[in-house]
Amino acid sequence: MAILPIAKLGNPILRQVAAKVDPRDIRTKELQRFIDDLFETMLDEPGIGLASPQVSRSIQLVVLGCEGDGEDAFPNTVLINPKIVFYGPQQEENWEGCLSVDGLRGKVTRPAVVRVQALDRQGKSIDIEATGLYAVCIQHEMDHLIGKLFVDRMADMSTLTQLAEFSRYWQKESTPVI
């Protein structure tokens, strides 16, 4: 396994639309190793989600996971060629950060519930209904596949906050770094 370098804000690869993964490639050694590397890189940062374009590979593959037994926890998940097939009507505002956007946090409003269909790391179809931080993370990671970052989703840039001030004034609220 290996820790991969992360593309940062300004790197054009973060603005590209990612290519679909050929399902026949999913079970290859190379792609399985890449998925392991994504998880290792995510945990090393540490973060709770990482999309392939963030490690300079523009394919529709993301990994996410948040350990623990709190209400924010969700299982390690691999989404390949994901599609959101349902958005809940309710919107929720959460702080977001991103491993490609160093030192900044901002509030983003997104649907509170999503249902996503994708292939898993075995190439099997999966269908997940997610709420809470899981739903935020799925939407944030899938944005990376269409060249979007959380700052693009901020309706009000006045909440954009540097990390030191975030810790000082806002840290009580949960902060995914995805």
Closest C-alpha among 21, 52, 31, 30 to residue 64? 52
Q: What is each CA distance from 155 to 102, 110, 125, 165, in whole angstroms?
A: 20, 10, 34, 20
Span of 36-44, 57-65, 103-111, 170-178 interacting with Ni ion by CB under 5 A:
170-178
Smallest separation, CB 89 to Ni ion (Å): 25
From the list 71, 141, 165, 173, the catalytic residue is 141
Q: What mask, x for binding Ni ion by CB under 5 A, covers residues 94 to 113?
A: ----x---------------
Say whether 96 is catalytic: no
Helix (H, G, I), strand (E, B) or coil at 78: strand
Smallest separation, CB 11 to Ni ion (Å): 13
Residues in the interface with Ni ion (CB under 5 A) total: 2
Decide: is 14 part of the binding site for Ni ion (CB under 5 A): no
DSSP state of 60: S
DSSP H stretches of helix in the chain: 29-44, 132-144, 150-153, 163-169
Active site residues: 141
